[in-house]
Structures are given as structure tokens and as C-alpha cells.
Structure 1
Amino acid sequence: MTTAHSAPKIPPLVPGGLPLAGHVAALIGGERRLALVEQVRAYGPVVRINVGPNVVVIVNAPELIHEMLTIKADEFTKGRLFEKLKLFGKDALPIAEGKPHLRRRRLMQPAFHREQIAGYVTTMRETVEPYISGWDSGTSLDLKTEMQLMTQGVVMSALFSSNPPREPANTILRSVDTVFTTAIKRAVLPIAPLERLPTRGNRKAKAASSALRTAVADIIAEHRANPGEYDDIVSLLLSARDETGEALPDDEILSECVALLAAGSETTAVTLAWLFHELGRNPDLERRLHEEVDQVLGDDVLTARHLGKLPYTRRLVQETLRLYAPWLVTRQTISEVTLGDYTLPAGTDIIWSAYALHRDPDLYPDPLRFDPDRWLPDRPQPPKGAFIPFGSGKRMCIGDAFAWTEATVITAMVASRWRLMPERGAVKALGAITTHPSELPMIPRPRDR
């Protein structure tokens, strides 16, 4: 591959010296994906790479990412990844564009106001308690799966007033994982013509999407049959009216609920898995967490009033969100756009990576060190736009405050009762729909208090 200088103000192609076996190969493997987005930062604030027959632009500079997500947000669509996530539903809030996105966000915002989220804390606690009380001392846990089931249960309880038993919940979880895996593969590889073929993978993705929608449709049907018994986001959507006074179509309500279920549990679950992995190999940090939780909670059950008294717990969550942020988010230019000194033609596919941004040594001293105290108020803080685990601007994740609260609640509840000990081997970070641990077996041991 050679450097291209033919078009002024358009970033050059990354030269062939990139120490990876081709960019397509890099995007196939989970570890290689992470290496690619980190390594291309060395080539400048904006670079182009070849992905098969396509050219993809990677935006690295925090000020340009901020410009793209805020000031010039209307000049971009959400791009390839979100297009492929339409497997969850084509008009759902995380995927919608333009005015439909704005209308739907305004409609759903009341369910995510901070006052409303404080009211979810009791539901979060009651949903999580059976999971952690059911752990057996000395019996290995697949912690990533356990956290996925836990956070999925929280989303379903708080937003859907539904908490299915473990086995149906496992079925939902496997369906979500399958759809996410399919979406990320289709987003990073130039295989669009293959998506319509009846391959095993395509049939599996279609079946998973169907199973997921069926499970959520049953919840919506229960709400319709007993409209006075619920006060949650499903009932909010069922009672909503559009600008003409018409109710939302059933398929749109279904798509919104499916997308909320998938997006609402993924990032928080992975964050918690990584958090306890880091505590398992940093006993001093774990001890400080236990001390704070014991001092604040004592023998009380956790409530919303305790959360503001857990600053160290919150810093642990924040540092995990920094170090293990989502590795890939996409955008696409609608027309010609200028970012800084670079002019991008209409239709340009763009990637930005919070994972790589958050590990830049120019922004974060000793970036690979897990250090929750870097977020203390008296420490130098990263520049504006350099910490964006939930995105930024008007398309920022609507559930960010929900996720912060949920992660703090679960961290404190687990820490009040258990130590989670690493079982074996090195844990690798993989670029899936978010940044996943390869596997994470951990052994719960009761706290010695």
C-alpha cells in the first residue's frame, strides 16, 4: 500500500508499513481490531485505510471527534454499524436519523430523567439480589455472562416491569449476542451481497432476531391486556401519540423495546466484568472499595440516598469506562464536510474509537494503568471531548445516567458480600460490539468483615 497525495486536504492512506497483516484481516480478529484502532493514531488526526475495495476514514483527534458529534452532527448519518443494527428494528431510537430520532428521543426522555432513575434504584437492588445471593463460594462463575444476565434483568425489570426466569433470560441473551455479532461483522467487512444469501450465519441471525422480538412482543401484549397495572417505558410508548394524534404502530413499539433491551444491558455488563477483573488483580483497590461500601452501607440495604456517598465506587466505574470503552463507532458524511484541515467527500465511511482515544498517552498519563484516582478533582483532567464512553452531542446514549447508576449499584452490592478471585490464565480484550473480555472465570469468596 502506498501513500496517496493526489487530493489536497483529504487524509492520506495509511502506508503499508502498518504492522498488521492487512486491514481486512485486522478487522476480522477481535484482538487485531483493537490493535488496528490504537496503531493508526500514530498516523495523524485523520487517516484513511483500505478495507477490501472500500476506503474508511478514521478520526483520531478529540477536537475533531467532538466537532463531528456536536457542531456538525447534522452533516453525518450514523453510518455502517448502525445500519447493520437494524436487525433489532429499523426505526428504533439508537438507529433512527434526523427528525424521527429527535421526536422519539423527546418522547422517551422522561423515562431517563435523573429523578426517575433514582426511583429505579430499589428495582435494581431487588433484581440483582437473587443473582449474587445465589453464588456458591468456591464455584467458578463465567462472570461476563453473569453480568450480562444481571444487567439484562435490571433493564427488563426497571423499563419493562418484567423479570423472566434464568433459562428464558439466557435465551434472550444468546439472541442479543448473535445479533450483535452479526451486526459488527457486517459493519467491518465488505460483504453486503452475502447478507441476503441463506447461509448458516444469516439464518442464525434471522432466527435470533425473531426470537428476541417474540419475547418482547409477549411483554407488550401483557401491557396491552392490563394497561392500568404498569408505569414504565412500555406503557409510555403504548400511550404515546404522534403529531397527527395517532398511536405508534405496533412494529415501532416493538423495535424500540428490543433495541432498548439490547443496548441497555451490553455496555454496563461488559464494564462490570472488566471492573471486577481489575479488582481481582489489584487487591489494594479492592480493599478500598470494601472499606467505602462497609462505611456507607453498614447493615443497611442500598438506596438512592447512598449513591452520592460512594465516590470511590463511582471512580472505579469511570476508570473502567475509560480503559475498556467501545472500540468502534461509525458515521457517514451526507455531503462534503470539512473537519479541521480535512475535507471529506459525501458518502465517506468514518470510524472513531473511544477505546483508542481513552488510551492515548498524550491525553492520559500512563494510560494502560488502571487508576481510579486519576479522576480525583485535584488531578489534571483530560481535555473536553477526550472522555466519551457514551458518545456526545444530541445522539449521546439516552441511557447514560441509567448505566452509571446501575453500574454503581451492582458494584456496591457485590462488594458488600463477595470477593471475586481470578481463576486462571490471561484475559484478552476483544473488539466485539463493545470491548469484551475473551473469557472471565472468577471464583466468589464470602467477604471477611
Structure 2
Amino acid sequence: MLPIIVPSILTFPLAVLLVALALTCYVIHLQNKRKSKEEIYEDGLRTAPAPMRVPVLGHLHLLGGYEVPYQAFSYLGKKYGSVVNLQLGNVKCVVVNGQKNIREALVTKGHHFDARPNFRRYQELFSGNKENSLAFCDWSDMQKTRRDMLKVHTFPRAFTSNFSSLKGLISAGTRSIMSEIQPCETTDLKPLILKTCANVFLNHFCSRNFPMEDEMFTEMVENFDEIFYEVNQGYAADFLPFLLPLHRKNLERMSGLTHRIRRFIEEEVIGGRFEDFDVEGEPDDYVESLIKHVKSGESPQLPWETALFALEDIIGGHSAVGNFLVKLFAFLANEPEVQRRIQKEIDEVVGDREVTIADRSSLPYTEATIFEAIRLIASPIVPRVANQKSSIDGYRIEKNTVLFLNNYDLSMSEKLWDRPTEFLPERFVHSGRLVKPDHFLPFGGGRRGCMGYKIVQLVSFGILGGFLQNYTVLPVNGDPYKVPIGSLALAKDTFKFKFVRR
């Protein structure tokens, strides 16, 4: 009888455990079902509805089966309403849908939601402290100071020396890319675009330029691109930290890339400028603005290491611009009529003169093409975190709740856009002028809005205009390209193109 009795004794605790787990899941199911149907009032604020969740995962399972998670957020918004509570692993979250509600979070109550998620992966990417990052830090006096120092460079005013210098850099960079192209041959555009954008950024912010064939410069560009791809990936480990060991090897590799970037910045970009800069003098570029603030001991104090992270962040912005431009060209390779309309506009307005960023206001359709690509990519707004108890649309938001602002729905809603899945730049042009609808919020808003969006627009316009003035873009083998959405990042081996001289 022993072989029979022993298994019975061993399986009894397991059976009890399974029954207990089933009862727990049933109770959770009843609680979630009740909460999803009821509005619980407290202090005049409602509790946002929530779908049924499961143990450990919470609502993470609801994000599967979609091209990007924000499509799931749109579905949940239609089912449960404009504000939806989600428990993603161990992280309490809220999805905010709708233009009015997103503007409330970004602008009206932006000071309530100016912190960033505290994902351990982000901590590790920035030497153990996400506050080193411009994009992923919480709001602080130091962050305000870093933004203020950047404004003169990231938002150059027309007719200023900064604007004129940037105009020349972008035009020279565009000519440099085109000189590398063999007409009608397959072109791997991404490395050329990335290195050109990197030199534009290094020139503009640091007064430094590197030959395209420079090995250390090339390595820096590739390292930045790998890190940009990494930070744009979503991992379950962000919400289930016990999974982080599975990513340890990759995180160590990313750490190695950041150290190599730091070495390049210190040796090749900064050099002896920190020691040589006269704190009584006026800064000539962003590097010297940072050095002046650090050496003068101005308040709030900015440690030199933190200043270097700020510099690396803004230089790394070239990866966002470069990846976006490759996606833009992929869209255009599928849209010969859009290319013809851009070329016609350039021919009529600019003629044989070289297109520059000073022509933006005169070329609304060309500029609208950039907007349309940004809209279709639907890159998400960086999540916010509530720094205090607040509300959105009358729904209670608890302190430390992560807010996902559903920009995908704003960009792809059939209620807001006519034929939203089609590439139609003319939707942004009315009476010969570029018009940006209020519901078009690709760069966020408020004091945590993207600091580099104007640079994205200027560099993209200059390179797009210069290329289409001289070339028509074709897909290799004539196959249409499917452009990934939900992120600007592209894998290293991506779209190739053919350029036919006009």
C-alpha cells in the first residue's frame, strides 16, 4: 500500500493550495467585476474603472496581441472610459484617453504629474540614478536649470547667429550624405544619416566636428543608436522586477556602451575645455554653458558628472532624428505622389537655389509631410508619475501612480482624422498654410514637453528638402515598406533605398 499512500499524502497540500488559489482568483474576479461596474465616490472624486486582473501579472496580460501596447489602451478606453485604472505587475498605473484629459494632465495639472517612472532598468542605464537623465528624471530646480540652458540652442530664433549657424550645418550635412550616394544603387541610408545628424549636433552644441570615416566617432554613433533602441523597448521586467536577472547580460552590455560614450565625450569633445574655460567669459556653446554653471558654483549646484549626462543626453538626440528620418524615407518610398508634390512645391518656391531651413514657412506641404510621418509613427509620450494626490476628468489619481497618456489614440482616431491610416500630408495644410490641430500632441506639452522637438523638425526639414530637390526615393526591389509604429527606434539592419536623380 505504500506506493498508494505516499502520493496521496504528498498531493493533499498541493490540492489545498490549488483550491485556495482558485478561490482567491474567484474573489478577485468578483471584486474586479464589481469595481469595473461601479463608481465609488470619495471626497467628490470617482474611482476610475478597472478591468479584471489576475494575480502577479495584474493587467499585463491585456497588453498582449497588439502591435504596440497603446492600441490595447485605446481598446480599454472604448470599453471602460476616458480614465482606466491598471495594475501592471507591481506598478499602479492609469491610462488617460482623450484630448481634453491628456491636456489636463500635461498642461492644466502638469505640475501634479511631472515625475517619471522609477523603473530599475532606467536606474541602471544612468549609473544607478535616473535623475542623471534629462528625459527620465523627476522635475526639480536642477532640471529646470538644465532646460533653461538648453533653450537657446534647441529653439534657435530665426535671423539669429545660432539659427544661421544651424542652417549652414544642416545644409552641409545634407550635401555630405548625398555625396555618398550612388544613384540607382542600393543605399544603406541609416549609417549615413546617423553620422550626419551626430555631426550636426556635435557642431551645434559642442563646436566639434568629426570625419565620417573616423573610427571612434563611428563607434560612438553606433553605441548611441544601440542605447536609443534599448530605451525604446518595453519589458515586462519594468513591472515585474524579479525578471530583471533575465536581462542582466544585456544591461551589462548597455553599461559598457555608456562608459565608452563617456570616454569619447571626455576625451574627444571636452578635452581640456573644462580647465581652460574662464568663468568670467561668455559661453560660446552648450558645453561652455555647462562648464560655466559648474565652475561658478551657481545655484542649484550642478555636479560635473550630472552635467556630462545632460550633454550626452542632448547629443544622443541625434539618434532620434536619424531613426525618424529613415522611417520618413520609408514612408515616402511607398508614396510617389507625395514625393512629386514636395518636388513641385520646392521647384515653384525655391527653384534651383539650395533648400534650407529658412524656407520652412514657404514650403508648407514639405513641412506637413514631416508632421504626417510623426503622426503615423505615433511615438508615445514619455509616461508621467503623480507627485501628489490629484485627479483627471474627475477621477482620483493617487500619488506615485504612473500615467500613460494615450497619444496613439490622438494620432489614429477616426473621430479626429479623416482616413487616419493613410499617409496624407495635406491634412495639415489649409489655405496654403501649415496648420497643427489641437489634438496633435506628438511631443507632449507643459514643462515636461520634449526639449528637442524643434531640432527634430529643423534637421528633418533640411535633409528632406535637400534630398527631394535632387532625388526621388524608391524601395529596393519595388516592395512596399511596412514602417514600425509606436517608437522612433529602428534596428541596426533596416530599410535600404534607391535614389534616382531628378
Shorter-chain TM-score category? 0.7 to 0.9
TM-score (norm 1): 0.86
For 2:492 and 2:262, the matched residues in 1 are separated by 28
The aligned residue for residue 168 of structure 2 is 122
1:234 CA drift (Å): 0.9
The aligned residue for residue 176 of structure 1 is 224
Matched, 1:215 2:264: yes
For 2:178 and 2:436, the matched residues in 1 are separated by 35
1:322 CA drift (Å): 1.5
SS of the aligned residue for 2:223 comes to helix
CA contact (8 A) 2:390 2:399 kept: yes
- Per mean C-alpha deviation after superposition, the further-off stretch among 264-273 and 226-235 is 226-235
Change (3 A) 1:306 1:347: closer
Matched, 1:12 2:40: no
CA RMSD of aligned residues (A): 3.4
1:404 CA drift (Å): 1.4
One-letter code aligned to 2:499: R
The residue correspondences of 1:429-440 to structure 2 (distance < 5 A) are: 429-432=484-487, 434=488, 436=490, 440=494
CA contact (8 A) 1:319 1:370 kept: yes
| Equivalent of 1:66 in 103, 111, 122 | 103
CA contact (8 A) 2:334 2:480 kept: no
Change (3 A) 1:252 1:335: same
Change (3 A) 1:255 1:198: same
CA contact (8 A) 2:153 2:204 kept: no
The aligned residue for residue 359 of structure 2 is 306
The residue correspondences of 1:1-400 to structure 2 (distance < 5 A) are: 2-3=32-33, 4-5=35-36, 8=40, 9-14=46-51, 24=60, 31-43=67-79, 44-80=81-117, 84-85=121-122, 87-88=125-126, 90-96=131-137, 97-112=139-154, 113-114=156-157, 115=160, 116-164=162-210, 165-166=212-213, 167-183=215-231, 184-185=233-234, 189-193=238-242, 195=244, 199-218=248-267, 219-224=269-274, 227=277, 231-240=284-293, 244-245=297-298, 248-262=302-316, 264-378=317-431, 384=438, 386-400=439-453
For 2:58 and 2:298, the matched residues in 1 are separated by 54
SS of the aligned residue for 2:132 comes to coil
- Per mean C-alpha deviation after superposition, the further-off stretch among 373-382 and 302-311 is 373-382
- Per mean C-alpha deviation after superposition, the further-off stretch among 151-160 and 194-203 is 194-203
1:35 CA drift (Å): 3.4
Deviation per CA, 1:206-250: give whole Å up to 9, x if none: 111111222222211253476599822112211235885488432
SS of the aligned residue for 1:58 comes to strand
Deviation per CA, 1:400-441: give whole Å up to 9, x if none: 222211111010111122222112364241544x36589642
CA contact (8 A) 2:331 2:483 kept: no
One-letter code aligned to 1:31: E
The aligned residue for residue 498 of structure 2 is 444
CA contact (8 A) 2:329 2:473 kept: yes
SS of the aligned residue for 2:309 comes to helix
CA contact (8 A) 2:66 2:72 kept: no
1:343 CA drift (Å): 0.6
Change (3 A) 1:368 1:67: same
Where has structure 1 moved over 6 Å in runs of 4 or more?
A: 379-382
One-letter code aligned to 2:315: L
1:120 CA drift (Å): 0.7
CA contact (8 A) 1:81 1:329 kept: no
Higher relative contact order (Cα pairs below 8 Å, separated by 6+ residues): 1
Deviation per CA, 1:298-345: give whole Å up to 9, x if none: 332334443332221111111112221313521111221111121111
Change (3 A) 1:361 1:242: farther
SS of the aligned residue for 1:366 comes to coil
For 1:355 and 1:147, the matched residues in 2 are separated by 27
Deviation per CA, 1:159-204: give whole Å up to 9, x if none: 1222333443442233223333443445873243555788311211
CA contact (8 A) 1:127 1:157 kept: no
Change (3 A) 1:369 1:212: same
For 1:205 and 1:12, the matched residues in 2 are separated by 39
For 1:344 and 1:279, the matched residues in 2 are separated by 42
Change (3 A) 1:270 1:416: same
One-letter code aligned to 2:254: A
For 1:55 and 1:15, the matched residues in 2 are separated by 14
TM-score (norm 2): 0.77
CA contact (8 A) 1:155 1:265 kept: yes
1:366 CA drift (Å): 1.5
One-letter code aligned to 2:253: K
SS of the aligned residue for 1:350 comes to strand
| Equivalent of 1:403 in 449, 456, 465 | 456
Identical pairs, percent: 22
1:134 CA drift (Å): 0.2
Q: Which blocks of at least 5 consecutive residues in structure 2 are unaligned?
A: 1-28, 41-45
Change (3 A) 1:370 1:425: closer
Q: Which blocks of at least 5 consecutive residues in structure 1 are unaligned?
A: none
The aligned residue for residue 472 of structure 2 is 419
For 1:26 and 1:201, the matched residues in 2 are separated by 26
